[in-house]
Structure 1
Amino acid sequence: MLARPLIDGALTRRTLLAQGSLGVLASAFAPRMAFARAASDRRFVFIIQRGAADGLGTIAATGDPAFAGARGDLAADFATGTKLDTIFTLHPAMAQAAALYGQGQALFAHAVASPYRDRSHFDGQNVLETGGAGAYQVKDGWLNRLLTLLPADEARAIAISATVPLALRGRHEVASYAPSSLPAASDDLLMRVGQLYGGDPQLHALWSEAMQTRMLTSDLTADNGRNAAATGQLAARLLQPADGARVAMIETGGWDTHAGQRGRLAAQLKGLDAMVGALKAGLGPLWADTLVLVATEFGRTVAVNGTGGTDHGTGAAAMLFGGGVKGGRVLADWPGLATTQLYEARDLRPTTGLDALIAGAVAEHFAVDPGRALPTLFPGGGSGRPSDGLLRA
């Protein structure tokens, strides 16, 4: 796997400021790429929710008779959520997602899961990112293998991440946008360094930008969602140029809500909502040909634990956004929330393969044969046939 960080420290930031950041970012793709024809306008963004996001806390099955009793205090927020249909209600923190749903540009899939059935974050994320049937069975990532299905002048990807995520690792070279890494530096130390630079207009501006970049890969609760919106704006800028990236991956963390879930999850969802909204606004007309996938490694328990949180589960929810999405609906072969209907008497039972959903969506978006997309992206065998009818013809 080859990866070339586009931003790695203040010196490179200085160069970008001097030369014009977007021009430098776009030219980073150029040395090994030949553009024989104009690239299409299709873009794809994968937002990974690391930590096992609670699907029932995002898209609540308020129409299920067992929902209120099983979720207790976690059900309260949905009294003001957007009613999606007779069964499901969207968390009120996702106001922009609700608007997209009303415009037919958001589709939600529930009770989905990868082939993984244990509850380790590391193993679950490995399966999600590699597309294998089990952890550590495949060495490269499904998003990198997607590039092999695209025309050469569209097979360009970028990671909005401190390091290139596993999903993007493989034989295709990708770019990354990452801040300088100072893992041992505390927030207090960084603040004091910022104060030292306060009297130097140039260094203070550079340091402020570096600190803003550092925050881009943190969880989504920081700064009331403004950093999440900045990440969406950044991704849009990197996807805009005609010779820029066509595929992007954004890492988000903070979804492991073992305690105090109600407030924390609401803040996380507000950040995610801001990120998606910023992507749409930043892409402008390109949004019509953009597909955004949001997915997590597994879901969380149906019942609330003793600290107001939920534990590692199985079935989860996934989201598709974009101008071409055949949205305004929730796809779910709903298994029910009564104890006898749960997976191992504790988790939402998965009824749809996440791999089938992803393969189907990507195949439709990039006009790739679904029968080729599924085994390429998910060599572990996939879950049946790829989903279809996810995008408008």
Structure 2
Amino acid sequence: MIDRRSLIGGGALGTLALFAPRIAWARAETDKRFVFIIQRGAADGLGTIAPVGDPGFAGARGPLAVDFDNAAKLDSMFALHPALAIVGGLYQRKQALFAHAIASPYRDRSHFDGQNVLETGGAGAYRLKDGWMNRMLGVIPSGEARAIAVASAVPMALRGSHEVSSYAPSSLPDASDDLLQRVTMLYEGDSQLHALWSEALNTRKLTGGLASDNGRNAAATGALAAKLLAAPAGARIAMIETGGWDTHAQQRGRLSTQLKGLDAMIGALQAGLGPLWADTMVLIATEFGRTVAVNGTGGTDHGTASSAMLLGGSVEGGRVISDWPGLGANALYDGRDLKPTMQLDAFIGGAVASHFETDPARTMMTLFPNTAPAPVVQGLLRA
């Protein structure tokens, strides 16, 4: 277990609290692992899993379509972004499934409101005061094991009536690089303090973006999550918060580096879990998608439908599930966005119910209590 005392080792190292990501713990007992990776900023589903078989794709996407000229095809319609090499390998081994033209009930384009709907499981922004992951803890078997969030703050998805303790960074301003270097030199002669300080600096790097340090920081975050999940009496449920997906300008390079970081995170998570990967499910989703057309700065604006991913050793992978609406002008939502044809709520409900073998109707009612009743997406796990 990680807590403030064990990490910083006492008053002399109080400054270390500046650099630790928030670790939130909640109760949930199960041998199966579940990880939710949120993509804050509206990740471009069309730029992640591209509908290269759609006759309107190349024309609508212009320069953003270039990355898929030689990309690996997933099927006759879709191709995966080349930066997702590890995820592509999981797809080939039938351990990765993608859902496209998918969206939450939210239909406006505010990041804050969209993320609130995604995390609370509400039918609209701020209608619920707790998160679907916290409510999920009341559906799956409960006990002494824990759930965690690795994030810069306790995410809305994990807040609620189920007990959650947290390890939070200090609210003080970030220390300068010069100060960090001076403290490093000060502790060089003390083996114990130097080791603790080095660990804190490494933890500080985990709060960086997915694109930073060529994906190594993202990989470190995945490795940390795996370590917490792999402990015999450790966490079974986890949420990892990622940002940087708002690609209004120069999207081609920025999205590629973001996806490379996400790929490294998934690879480190899988490697760290080892044989536990067989009973692990990883859900990756964003608050909404991006426009089909490219804007004047080589980016895309806030849209509606996007894509989601489901990864894990028992996932019925090697396929893209989608009721594809098309990219023709008459098929677009509001004349500009990919039209949603699949409910993200039903996808999440189906994933949770099948993974933990809970009743689908009760699972949907608990996770999405004020959304119109809908059947869960079936067949997400191997029988």
Same fold (TM over 0.5): yes
- 1:324 corresponds, among 314, 319, 328, to 314
Counterparts of 1:13 and 1:306, CA distance in 2: 48
- 2:9 corresponds, among 14, 26, 29, to 14
Alignment gaps of 5+ in structure 1: 16-27
SS at match of 1:149: coil
Counterparts of 2:66 and 2:373, CA distance in 1: 35
Q: How far does residue 154 in structure 1 lie from its aligned partner after superposition?
A: 6.6
CA 1:378–1:183 in structure 2 vs 1: closer, same or farther (change >3 Å)? farther
Say yes or no: does 1:344 pair with 2:339: no
Determine the structure 2 residue equivalent to 1:93.
Answer: 83
Normalising by structure 2, we get a TM-score of: 0.91
Counterparts of 2:365 and 2:338, CA distance in 1: 27
Deviations 1:335-392 (A, max 9, x none): 1111211110111111000000000010000000001001100112256211010001
CA 1:147–1:197 in structure 2 vs 1: closer, same or farther (change >3 Å)? same
Say yes or no: does 1:145 pair with 2:135: yes
Counterparts of 1:370 and 1:44, CA distance in 2: 17
Identity of aligned residues (%): 69
Determine the structure 1 residue equivalent to 2:294.
Answer: 304
Counterparts of 1:387 and 1:285, CA distance in 2: 27
Instruction: Choose 58-67 or 238-247, whichever is displaced more.
Output: 238-247
Q: How many residues end up aligned between the 2 structures?
A: 370
- 1:287 corresponds, among 257, 277, 281, to 277
Determine the structure 2 residue equivalent to 1:118.
Answer: 108
How do 1:158-177 residues align onto structure 2 when only pairs under 5 Å count? 158-176=148-166
How do 1:223-238 residues align onto structure 2 when only pairs under 5 Å count? 223-238=213-228
Say yes or no: does 1:68 pair with 2:58: yes
Determine the structure 1 residue equivalent to 2:119.
Answer: 129
Counterparts of 1:154 and 1:62, CA distance in 2: 47
Determine the structure 1 residue equivalent to 2:248.
Answer: 258
SS at match of 1:56: helix
Normalising by structure 1, we get a TM-score of: 0.89
Instruction: Choose 231-240 or 190-199, whichever is displaced more.
Output: 190-199
Determine the structure 1 residue equivalent to 2:208.
Answer: 218
Q: Which amino acid aligns with 1:13?
A: I
SS at match of 1:83: coil
SS at match of 2:137: helix
Counterparts of 1:268 and 1:247, CA distance in 2: 24
SS at match of 2:297: coil
CA 1:193–1:382 in structure 2 vs 1: closer, same or farther (change >3 Å)? farther
